[in-house]
Structure 1
Amino acid sequence: MDFDPSPAQQAMRDALRAFLIRECPIEYVRACDEAERFPTELYEKLAAQGWLGIPIPEEYGGTGGSCTDLAIFLEEFAAHFEAGANIYYTSVVIAADALTHFGTEDQKKTLLPKLARGEIRFAFSLSEPNSGSDAASLRTKAVREGDEWVINGQKMFCSCAQVADYILLMARTDTNAPKHDGITMFLLDPKTPGVEIRQLKKLGLKPMDLNEIFLTDVRIPADRVIGAVNQGWRNVLKTLDYERCCLSAVNVGAAQSCLDKALAYTKERHQFGQAISQFQLVRAKLADMEMEIDAARLLLYRSAALVDRHIPNNKQSAIANLYSSETYVRAALDGMRLMGGWGYLMEYDMQRHFRDSKLAEIGGGTSEILRIVISREMLR
């Protein structure tokens, strides 16, 4: 298997790196983190350069990138701005994927070109106060009344809802069906009467807002359904391999940033008359970080290659997601250890990775759930 990027993919990576060095310097990343501010200016520039169109088919205004193309993009993006890459995944990739595979032709023609041009943003809302890892046990209910759906319930942990023009909302439409059936995906305008959004304070990923949503007699048109009624959960499962690749790419890029920062610090920091990179224990720690990140990267691109070949890889994508998320957490913690007291200071970037990394083991499937997925595939 050839793991080298194609000339076109390498050119894309080089162009993106040059763009991010120019338009997303570390001072900008720190300012967005400290102010807990959505990086509006950066996303406008990404849209102007066509970067938002990677996961969108060409016939709908995108560039029709492969899963591997997207993985390369997200890895590079996360190496510069991990929260920014997470926002891209949440507000662009999930919506592009859902609309491309399950949207009507009118929905695709109306929404996807606007998404590619950066004119609209999306959020995805699945979790609820009593349905986290057991996400299919959601209770938010949508009832058909004539030409409308009436939605009532409460959602939790919805990223980007504060800046979204549309929310892809999962709700139960058949209370008599088994819990994995009877769920439908809706296209919700957050400005609709009866929708209340409350922002939640969190540890990391501060430029990406996190919210709970209250829905009280929210009425939306009957055609605001994405995919078939009662098939929402089944449709989400069909694209899990693709989405896990995206999350893995973010983890790998962010972990690489931790290693790069730690390596630079150990070369500059002198103790006992020499750079601390000369000490054997420090070198061993750096070697461990390099080895784990390299392994995570290989797992990521194996899974992406399988997705591009349309080969189901539930186990392989889960392995990539699990290993890369835990690798990112270890890389951030080891980076803190190597930097000592300096890593603990807010003016240095390792503390941001330390705060941001933990969500990688929670969002998109906890480490425990992913281990269950992997073992279940092994025992089939």
Structure 2
Amino acid sequence: MNFDLTQEQQMIKNTIREFADEVVAPGAIERDRTKEFPVEIFKQLADMGIMGLPFPEEYGGAGADTISFAIVTEELSRACASTGITYSAHISLGGAPLNLFGTHEQKQKYLTPICTGESFGAFGLTEPNAGSDAGGTQTTAKEDGNDFVINGSKAFITNASYAKHLALTAITGMEGNKKEISAIIVPTDAEGFTVLDNYEKMGLNASNTTELFLENVRVPQENLLGERGKGFHQFLVTLDGGRIGIGAMAVGIAQAAFEKAKSYAKERKQFGKALSEFQVTQFKLADMALKIELARNMVYKASWLKDQGRPFSKEAAMCKLYASEIAMEVADQAIQIHGGYGYMKEYEVERFMRDAKLLEIGEGTSEVQRMVISRLIG
């Protein structure tokens, strides 16, 4: 068992950490306030070859592994979780299903612009009445000649305002009482396709979260992604990879909260000595460090199993569940260590807590992760 990063992974970590500290972090407070999407940051990441990191070089990717993707997601999220979730969704929800299930022609046409940063990656799964119960999908795609005609709506879709196309799930038929759900690639500029960016969110304010409305949107049947009727299976596979991204995000936010708390505890004097000299603070920081380390190890293990082509659904669920819950806990304790200042935006720890909360909800709630894990250990 080797816990060393490879030379390539270490190089990616060093590069992205420097970029996160110097380019991403300085504007994070302001972006949280103004809700401005960090377009320029992603142009620079595209120039660095990071936007297609784990995808094949023939489609403009860098051919890197999942651990490298987790490292980039963690470091970006440590600086700004809105940037982290944008990147994680771009890769694991936008690019991954195209890479996993697309034909060579589909990858050339749709994956390449994602890898080069010309388009952001997005994935249309969740609906107003179909979140954790994705089988409750109501969007329909009816055949009409050589086309599908799509009607329905999607909710809480990341990056769609900046995506030129996305894969979405729709009912393509019925087998008795059972829905036949398929994945279809849809250009976002298609007639009848509306993307609305109107949500008022608790956190992750500089990320793009949208509603999609499809009214008689017509796409050719060749835009079917993977096998017809396999859309449900495809998004389950996609979410497994996405959960690694959420776990990595959570580790990044927790690391940021821990670093702020540790630094503040050394500077802040109470009763004549630094907070860091009190055992109660030392124990808080020790617990935070312990839980972050365990969460990161779990993220890396799930990533490693995925890279080995081995089953990783259980570990992905575990890393997502544990990392998201400790991110909330660590952010909470960081605020506590800061006292009254922790409640103030300029000290940043309150933002970490607001941003971390989504990670217990998105890509399968904590309750759903426990259902997944219990099924896989049964």
TM-score under structure 2 length normalisation: 0.96
Query: 1:313 deviation in Å?
Result: 2.2
Please tell me whether residue 320 in structure 1 is matched to residue 319 in structure 2: yes
Q: Residue deviations 1:99-140, cap 9 Å, x none?
A: 111111111112223222211112211111211111111011
**Structure 2 letter corresponding to 1:17:** R
Alignment of 1:286-365 (within 5 A): 286-365=285-364
Query: 1:177 deviation in Å?
Result: 5.3
**Structure 1 letter corresponding to 2:9:** Q
Following the alignment from structure 1 to structure 2, what is the Cα–Cα distance between the partners of residues 363 and 144?
Answer: 32
Segments of 5+ residues of structure 1 without an aligned counterpart are none
Structure 2 match to 1:182: 180
Following the alignment from structure 1 to structure 2, what is the Cα–Cα distance between the partners of residues 177 and 119?
Answer: 42
Alignment RMSD: 1.5
Structure 1 match to 2:262: 263
Change (3 A) 1:144 1:99: same
Following the alignment from structure 1 to structure 2, what is the Cα–Cα distance between the partners of residues 320 and 177?
Answer: 37
Please tell me whether residue 20 in structure 1 is matched to residue 20 in structure 2: yes
Following the alignment from structure 1 to structure 2, what is the Cα–Cα distance between the partners of residues 178 and 253?
Answer: 44
Structure 2 match to 1:94: 93
Q: What secondary structure is seen at the aligned counterpart in 1 of 2:222?
A: coil
Following the alignment from structure 2 to structure 1, what is the Cα–Cα distance between the partners of residues 58 and 141?
Answer: 33
**Structure 2 letter corresponding to 1:16:** I
**Structure 1 letter corresponding to 2:341:** W
Structure 1 match to 2:10: 10
**Structure 2 letter corresponding to 1:72:** I
Q: What secondary structure is seen at the aligned counterpart in 2 of 1:201?
A: coil
Following the alignment from structure 1 to structure 2, what is the Cα–Cα distance between the partners of residues 157 and 114?
Answer: 23
Query: 1:176 deviation in Å?
Result: 3.1
Alignment of 1:27-66 (within 5 A): 27-66=26-65
Following the alignment from structure 1 to structure 2, what is the Cα–Cα distance between the partners of residues 169 and 326?
Answer: 29
Structure 2 match to 1:195: 193
Alignment of 1:143-162 (within 5 A): 143-162=142-161
Query: 1:178 deviation in Å?
Result: 5.9
**Structure 1 letter corresponding to 2:299:** L
TM-score under structure 1 length normalisation: 0.95
**Structure 2 letter corresponding to 1:2:** N
Contact residue 122 and residue 168 of structure 1 kept, 8 A: no
**Structure 2 letter corresponding to 1:270:** K
Query: 1:159 deviation in Å?
Result: 1.5
Following the alignment from structure 1 to structure 2, what is the Cα–Cα distance between the partners of residues 19 and 196?
Answer: 34
| Matched length | 377
Q: Sequence identity, in percent?
A: 37
**Structure 1 letter corresponding to 2:143:** R
Q: What secondary structure is seen at the aligned counterpart in 1 of 2:351?
A: helix
Once structures 1 and 2 are overlaid, which stretch shifts more, 203-212 or 255-264? 203-212
Change (3 A) 1:178 1:320: farther
Q: What secondary structure is seen at the aligned counterpart in 2 of 1:343?
A: helix
Contact residue 259 and residue 331 of structure 1 kept, 8 A: yes
Segments of 5+ residues of structure 2 without an aligned counterpart are none
Following the alignment from structure 1 to structure 2, what is the Cα–Cα distance between the partners of residues 308 and 290?
Answer: 27
Change (3 A) 1:60 1:173: same
**Structure 2 letter corresponding to 1:228:** E
Following the alignment from structure 2 to structure 1, what is the Cα–Cα distance between the partners of residues 345 and 174?
Answer: 49
Alignment of 1:117-128 (within 5 A): 117-128=116-127
**Structure 2 letter corresponding to 1:194:** G
Following the alignment from structure 1 to structure 2, what is the Cα–Cα distance between the partners of residues 30 and 378?
Answer: 42
Following the alignment from structure 2 to structure 1, what is the Cα–Cα distance between the partners of residues 216 and 349?
Answer: 45
Contact residue 184 and residue 225 of structure 2 kept, 8 A: yes
Following the alignment from structure 1 to structure 2, what is the Cα–Cα distance between the partners of residues 211 and 149?
Answer: 23
Contact residue 95 and residue 121 of structure 2 kept, 8 A: no
